[in-house]
Structure 1
Amino acid sequence: MTDLADRRWRLVVDDARDGATQMALEEVAARTTIADDRRTVRVYSWEPSTLSLGYRQDPDTVDWNYCDREGIDVTRRQTGGGGIYHDRYADISYTIVAPADEVPGDLMDCYALFCEPILEGLRRMGVDADFAAAEQASIYQPSCYLRDINPAHDVVAPASGDRPGKISGNAQYRQRDVVIQHGSISYDLEPERHVGVFAGDLEPETFTDRVTSIREQTGIDREEAVSTLAQALGDWCGADEGSWREDELEAAADLAEAKYGSDAWIRNRELREQDGGRP
C-alpha cells in the first residue's frame, strides 16, 4: 500500500464496453477526481474488440477493410505510441486516475509508482515480470507491441529469462491537473488479428517472437487474472469497491459520440472546440 491510500479511491471492475466509451470514461473519471475528490482505479475489457491508435498515429497505418470485415472497432487514445489491438478475450486493460499534485512530477518516477500494482498483480498470478532491463529495437513502429521496448514503462516476462517478451505497455497523460495512466496487459495472444489490423505486411510470427502473455506464462484462467489484477490495484491505494454513477455514464456517452467515436477524431485528430479537444 502506498501513501496514496489515505485519500479517497474507488475500484471499478468495469463491464466490457466499446472503445470510444472506454476512452471517454477516463476523461469523465478525471473530472470526478477534481470535482468530488474521488480517485479511480479500474480494470476493463473491450466489446467489440478494438484497435486504439496512438495520439499522433497516421490513420494510413490501419487496414480499415480488415477491421471492418472482422468487426474490429477503432478509436484514438490521448496517449502517444503505436496502435494496440485490444482483443475482447486476450486483452486486459486498466486505468489509474489521480490528482497531479499528489504524484511525482517526474514522468519516470510517476511510471514507477503507477506500475507498482501492475507488477504486483502479475507476480501474484505467478508471472516473473518486471520493467525491461534493456531497450529492444523497433520491429514495426505503428504497433505498440512491436515498437522499441523502453525500460521506463514496458513490462516484460520472464524478467530473469534470456529472451523476455513484452507483456504490458503503459502510457500517461495529464489533463486538468489530473494524471491518467492506462495500460494493456496480454492475457493471451491473437497474433493474426494483431498484425491484421495494420496496413503493413507483417507475419504473425513477428508478433509471437516479441510478445508473451499471462496464459503462456502461468496458464491461469482469465477470470482469475482479472480478479487478481483488480485486487492488486485496490490494495495498492486502499480503494473501496465502486462503480460509475449514472451521470458519469451519461457524460461518457456524450463524449464518446462527440469525440472518441467520431471520424474527425479517429482519422484526423480534429474536433470542434466545444467538443473538448486535447488540453
Structure 2
Amino acid sequence: MSEQQESRHGEYKVPGGKLVVVDLEVRDGVLDSVSLSGDFFLEPDDALEDINRALTGLPADSTAEQIALAVRSSLHPDAVLFGFSPEAVAITVRRALAKATGWADHEWEIIPPTPLSTHMHVAMDEVLTEEVGAGLRNPTLRFWEWETPSVVIGSFQSLRNEVDPDGAERHGVTVVRRISGGGAMFMEHGNAITYSLYVPQSLVDGLSFADSYPFLDAWVMESLERLGIKAWYQPLNDIATDQGKIGGAAQKRLSSGGMLHHVTMSYDIDADKMVQVLRIGKEKLSDKGTRSAKKRVDPLRRQTGLSREEIIDTMMQTFTERYGAKTTGITDTEMARAKEKVEQKFNTSEWITRVP
C-alpha cells in the first residue's frame, strides 16, 4: 500500500548570495514533483529542469552530500550557477524534509554577561551544548564575564608549547583547556568579548565547516557594521577588518546533536603581558616581523571608541531583533552540573595536561 503523498516547502538564503526555494512531495519514501526556484542566476535555462529531474526519485533520507552530488552530476560542465550552489540546493531540500532547520525554526534565548570562574565557563559550554542537543534547552547565546586573568587553550593544543609557566605564575594567570579546537585565548577583566552559541546541529546541516562559521556569525557582522566596523571571516575561523584580525572562533559538535560555536574578540589586551604568558604569542609576532609587542591590542576599543559594555549591548540587541530572542539565565541545575564537571574534568591535571 502506497504512503500518502506529502507536500513540502523549503527555503534557504545563501549567505552573501541568493534565495533558494524548493517545493516537493514525498511518495513512498522518495522525492517527487520537485520544483526548484529562487532569485538566483542559472545558465543555461534548461539546467533548472536537469536539477529537478536529478532530485526526483531520490530517497527522502538522502544526506546533504548525496543530494548535492546528484545535483552536481546532473549539470553540464558549462553550466553556471550564480548566487547558489549544489550544496545550497541540498540544504533547501533538507529543510523541506525537516532534516535541516533555519534560525526561524527555533526559539532563541540570550544569557547576558554572567561572572563565572574560567573553569566554570568552559564547563558551562559543555553543559549547555549537551542540553540543547538533548532538547532540554532552547538554542542559546551566552556572553562570558570573568574577573581573574586566564588562558584558555584549545582541546588539542600542547600545554607546554602554548603556555610559559613562569609568566603565567608571575601574572597570576589560570590555565584551562576547553572542549573545542583552535588556538589559545588570553583573558583579563574587560579586555575581550567572548560569547558562546549553543545550537542544534540541524541548523548547520549541509554546510561545510568553513561555511558554518560565517553562517553562525552573520548577526555579529551586522552588529559590527552598526558600530561602524566592516568585518568579514578570514578562512577558517578568524574575524578580520582592513586593520587586521579582531577575533577568532572555534566549534565543537557533540554526539548528543548539540553544537558549540564560540568567539573571542579583542577589546583591549595587554600584548606585553600576553607574550610573557603565551609562547605562541612570541612566535606569531616574530612571524609577522614584529620586534616587540605593542603595549595594547585594542581593535574594538580603538575602532569604535565605545566601552566594552556598549558593544555587548549592541550585539545583544542585534541578535534579539534578528531572531526574536528572549533574555534568560543559567539555572541552578545547570550551575550544579557545571560545578560537577569542573571537579571531575576541567580542573583535573588529566584534562589540562591531556596534551602535555
- Pair in the same fold by TM > 0.5: yes
1:157 counterpart residue number: 241
The residue number in structure 2 matching 1:197 is: 277
1:50 aligns to 2:181 (yes or no): no
- Assess if the C-alpha contact under 8 Å between 2:128 and 2:137 holds in 1: no
Q: How far did 1:86 drift?
A: 1.7
Deviations 1:97-116 (A, max 9, x none): 11112323421221121111
TM-superposed CA distance for 1:199, in Å, is 3.5
Unaligned runs of 5+ in 1: 133-150, 159-163, 271-279
Runs ≥4 in structure 1, deviation > 6 angstroms? none
Instruction: Determine the structure 1 residue equivalent to 2:45.
Output: none
Superposition deviation, residue 212 in structure 1 = 5.2
Counterpart in 2 of 1:259? Answer: 345
**For residues 258 and 207 of structure 1, what CA distance do their matches in structure 2 show?**
38
**Identity percentage of aligned residues:** 27
Letter in 2 for 1:227: D
| Cα gap change, 1:200 to 1:153, in 2 (>3 Å) | closer
- Aligned pair partner of 2:205 in 86, 89, 104: 104
* Partner in structure 2 of residue 114 of structure 1: 216
CA distance in 2, matches of 1:109, 1:229: 21
Deviation at 1:49, TM superposition (A): 2.0
Please identify which structure carries the higher strand content.
2
Question: TM-score if structure 1 supplies the norm length?
Answer: 0.80
SS at match of 2:269: coil
1:207 and 1:183, CA in 2 relative to 1: closer, same or farther beyond 3 A? Answer: farther
Counterpart amino acid of residue 121 in structure 2: Q
Give the letter aligned to residue 237 of structure 2. H
Alignment of 1:49-128 (within 5 A): 49-61=149-161, 62-105=163-206, 106-128=208-230
Q: CA deviation at 1:207?
A: 5.1
Matches within 5 A, 1:172-191: 172-175=251-254, 176-191=256-271
Higher relative contact order (CA 8 A, sep 6+): 1
CA distance in 1, matches of 2:293, 2:318: 28
- 2:248 — aligned with what? 169
Which amino acid in 2 is paired with 1:225?
I
Q: Matched residue of 1:119: which SS?
A: helix
* Inter-partner Cα distance in structure 1 for 2:137 and 2:279: 43
Q: Match of 1:38?
A: 138
| Structure 1 vs Structure 2 CA RMSD | 2.4
Partner Cα distance (1:189, 1:25) in 2: 24
Give SS of 1:97's match.
strand
Mapped contact 1:41–1:234 kept (Cα < 8 A): no
Q: 1:201 to 1:128 in 2, by over 3 A?
A: closer
Q: How far apart are the structure 2 equivalents of 1:70 and 1:23?
A: 21
Q: CA deviation at 1:205?
A: 5.9
Q: Counterpart in 1 of 2:328?
A: 242
| 1:6 partnered with 2:86 | no
Which amino acid in 2 is paired with 1:84? M
Find the counterpart in structure 2 of residue 219 from structure 1: 305
Deviates more, 1:190-199 or 1:179-188: 190-199
1:20 aligns with 2:133: no
Q: 1:30 to 1:71 in 2, by over 3 A?
A: same
| Distance in 1 between residues matched to 2:281 and 2:185, nearest whole Å | 17
Moved more, 30-39 or 180-189: 30-39
Deviations 1:144-174 (Å, cap 9, x if unpaired)?
Answer: xxxxxxx23211123xxxxx31101011110
Q: 2:314 aligns with which of 228, 234, 240?
A: 228
In the alignment, the residues of structure 2 paired with residue 230 and residue 200 of structure 1 have an alpha-carbon distance, to the nearest angstrom, of 32
Cα contact 1:9–1:40 (8 A) shared by 2: yes
Q: What is the TM-score of this pair, normalised by structure 2?
A: 0.64
Secondary structure in 2 aligned to 1:78? coil
Amino acid at match of 1:197: V
**CA distance, structure 2, for counterparts of residue 13 and residue 95 of structure 1:** 11
CA distance 1:200–1:156, shift in 2 (3 Å):
closer
Paired with 2:293 and 2:238, the residues of 1 have a C-alpha distance of 16
In structure 2, what residue type is equivalent to 1:250? A
SS of match in other structure, 1:268:
coil
Shift of the 37–199 alpha-carbon distance from structure 1 to 2, 3 Å rule, reads: closer
